[in-house]
Amino acid sequence: MGLTEFFGAVFNLDHVGKYIHWGFIQLSVSNAILIALMIVTFISALLLPFPGKRNRKEGK
């Protein structure tokens, strides 16, 4: 048994997925998670303090 067989999918996604229905919108849960992650990442990128900048200022 190779390493890759051992590690092949810790989480098995090979089954019919769950779907979200909002009115005319149908979305797979995996896509919904992906899109939500994108939005969260975007907002975090805007809000989280960027390291370095402040340190440099204090150093000066």
Partner 1 sequence: MTKKVFNPDVDAPVFKGKYAPYDIIKEGTIAVVVVALLTVVLAVLFSSPDEKAVTIKSWSNATPMDFVATAITELDGTSGTATYGPPYNNAATGQQIGPFTLAKWMGINVKVNTASDFVVAPLSTLADQPALKTALTAFTSASSTQKASWEANYSKALTTGRFSSGTLQVPATNAGPVPVMMSALTAMARSGALDQALVTAKGFYTTDYTKPLLFMADGSFLANKAQAQHLSGDQWGMMNETGSYPGQAWLWLYTMWYQVPPFSTSWGANADALVWAFMMILTLLLALMPWIPGLRSIPRKVKVYRLIWREHYKSV
Partner 2 sequence: MTTEIDRQWTTRLRKTVVEKLPPEKLLPDTQPAYVASWIYVFGVTTLAALAIVIATGCVLAMKGPLWWHLSSTGHFVNSLHLWSVEIFFFAMVIHLWGKYFMAAWRGGRQLTWVTGVVLFLTSIGAGFTGYVSQTNYDSQWISTQAKDGINATGGGAFFNVLNLGQMLMWHIVLLPLAAVALTAVHVIYVRIKGVVPPFEEEK
Q: Which residues contact partner 1 (rule: CB under 8 A)?
A: 7-19, 24-31, 33-35, 46-47, 50, 52-54, 56-57
CB 19 within 8 A of CB 27: yes
Q: Which does 11 bind (CB under 5 to 8 A by kind): partner 2, partner 1, none?
A: partner 1
Binding site for partner 2 (CB under 8 A): 2, 4-5, 7-8, 34, 37-38, 41-42, 44-46, 48, 50, 52-53
Helices (H), 1-60: 3-7, 29-47, 53-59
Q: Are 2 and 8 in contact (CB under 8 A)?
A: no
| Residue whose CB is less far from partner 2, 8 or 17 | 8
